[in-house]
Amino acid sequence: KEVVEDGEPHYRIEEGVIYLFEEEKPSLIFRVFLDGVKHGREGLCITRMNPKRIRETYGLGTTPIIWLVKNKIPSETCLSPNELSLCYEMIDNFIKQAERGLILIEGVEYLMTQNSFSSIQKFFQLINDSVMPSTSSVLVTLDPATLTTQEYHLIKREMEKIEVKEVKDGEDYIRHTLP
């Protein structure tokens, strides 16, 4: 766990849900993730971005970061994009062990270039099966423009699209939109 901040988190995230962030470049998803881990949730970050840069930018000192990259970098925990089953096992183990876990998945487009769409769809179905009965939540960022309409709708079925709303005290919170 990261150092816990006092007070309530700015974003309320339901347990047992995968949230879909539609972003060209991940921004809001990292703010939501950081807010969650700074307020006591156990975090796991799976990303295409350089973990050193993420740690420096967001001040994440203890949160494990898995780098989606073909080359193995000795100082980092790396996972080849072709190892979807191993990635799922890591996520599933984290969900089983974490109390109120929060998982960020960034780099789905990269995974799609290295695997079939069917494999990606099954990957998210398995993650959803693991997270639904748990106290954990998953945050996924994806640019819908990188998918066909059919692919987007198939992926979206496993997730709750989010929207950020203002509340009276000026803090944002996350809530899912219903179809």
User: Tens of pLDDT along 15-65?
Assistant: 999 999 998 899 899 999 999 999 999 999 999 999 999 999 999 999 999
Which neighbouring-strand residues pair with 68? 79
Burial category of 27 from C-beta neighbours within 10 Å (exposed 0-12, middle 13-18, buried 19 and up):
exposed
pLDDT at 152 over 50: yes
Give the Cα separation of 93 and 157 in Å (integer).
23
Give the Cα separation of 104 and 47 in Å (integer).
8
% of the chain at pLDDT higher than 70:
91
- Count the alpha carbons within 13 Å of 29 in the hemisphere toward its beta carbon: 28
User: pLDDT value at position 178?
Assistant: 38
**Strand ranges, E, within 12-100:** 18-22, 42-47, 65-68, 77-79
162 φ, ψ to 5°?
A: -105, 160
pLDDT at 3 over 60: yes
CB-CB neighbours of 50 under 10 Å: 15
- C-alpha distances in angstroms, 176 versus 23, 72, 86, 117, 127? 16, 37, 29, 25, 18
DSSP 4: P
As a whole number, the mean pLDDT across the chain is 89
| 84 vs 161, residue with greater confidence | 84
Report the amino acid identity of residue 17. Answer: V
Reported confidence tier of residue 2, pLDDT bands at 50, 70, 90: confident
Give the Cα separation of 49 and 156 in Å (integer).
23
* Confidence (pTM): 0.90
